[in-house]
Structure 1
């Protein structure tokens, strides 16, 4: 799966918030803080189980005629489905986005699916706990560059209410059989 990087504007807002927390006024550490903010976002998305900020993803799905769940959620739209010969006709595949925001694809052949997924439009509209956890983790990584100190437990506590666990993969297949 390939995905667009976290949008630069989102990283810039997280860097500004981290600089405010660190009381930094110069720009000499901005590049480092941007990498650390991107890392914090990646860890937040892995922990929460969702794409936090809406962006494009491209994923290859092995087509065997059964439903396959797309890796990222919540899915806003499936924008393109391509097979080995290019864009497929609508009759060659099926797409569904369920009530939980999971995207599903069914095709008889291997397909490449392009879709948009994400829970919010940007940093400013992320839930406060998620945004603060990202900033707190970026600041922690900045202050503890040697990696000898564990991240603050508050980061997981801030993200836990937004964590999404997937327990039943087969349920969609049964509903749409």
Structure 2
């Protein structure tokens, strides 16, 4: 399985001004925007870390999922949520020759934890031996930062501020995330049941 971002989070979707205020940085100076590039990088890092921890995409963008075979031909679980739309499915043979699958043959089964691509009939299209299937889709909780739930917005701000405050610290353990952030995002984490076999 390979999940690729087709589009990145637009700069306009990131709350730079709100983040400056959160950090209590001074305003009204000629250098107001001097650190914007640095602040943007911390916001992007915080968004990415929270998405990785929860399996939820915060800001809407396009993705491409490539699979060597279906995990379950009666319905393929998507690796992230929430998925807004499946924009295309294509099957490739071992030589890379692509065949676009008719959208009438599949549909998106929406779910806050594990959305699935399911067949309209019995099974999803056959993936040739040595071939692959590519699913193009759009996922995200909101088109901009203000559209996110309040707890997710706060978690991003807290984590980005943590990265900013400890940007020179090398002694922090790998994957370090402040307790306030983990408690805010806990309810969004994917719950796996039955060892993930059916997911």
Provide TM-score, normalisation by structure 1: 0.82
Equivalent position of 1:35 in the other structure = 41
Matching residue of 2:149: 127
User: 1:6 is matched with which residue?
Assistant: 9
Residue 112 of structure 1: aligned partner: 134
Q: TM-score, normalised by structure 2?
A: 0.74
Tell me the secondary structure at the aligned position of residue 88 of structure 2. strand
Residue by residue, what CA displacement relative to the aligned partner does 1:38-93 show, whole Å, maximum 9, x if unpaired?
Answer: 01001111222211122111111223572332212111111111222334242896
Matching of residues 66-145 of structure 1 within 5 Å: 66=73, 67-84=75-92, 85-90=97-102, 94-100=106-112, 102-104=115-117, 106-109=124-127, 110-145=132-167
2:66 aligned partner: 60
| Structure 2 unaligned residues grouped into runs of 5+ | 119-123
Partner of 1:44: 50
Identify the structure with the greater helix proportion: 1
Equivalent residue pairs, number: 170
Q: Which has the larger radius of gyration?
A: 2
CA RMSD of aligned residues (A): 2.5
Give deviations 1:105-145, integer Å, cap 9, x for gaps: 53311211100111223210211111111011111111111
Where structure 1 has 5 or more consecutive residues not aligned to the other structure, the ranges are 173-177
Task: Give, in angstroms, the shift of residue 96 of structure 1.
Answer: 3.5
Q: Distance in 2 between matches of 1:143 and 1:123?
A: 22
Summarize the Cα distance change of 1:103–1:54 in structure 2 as closer, same or farther, 3 Å threshold: farther
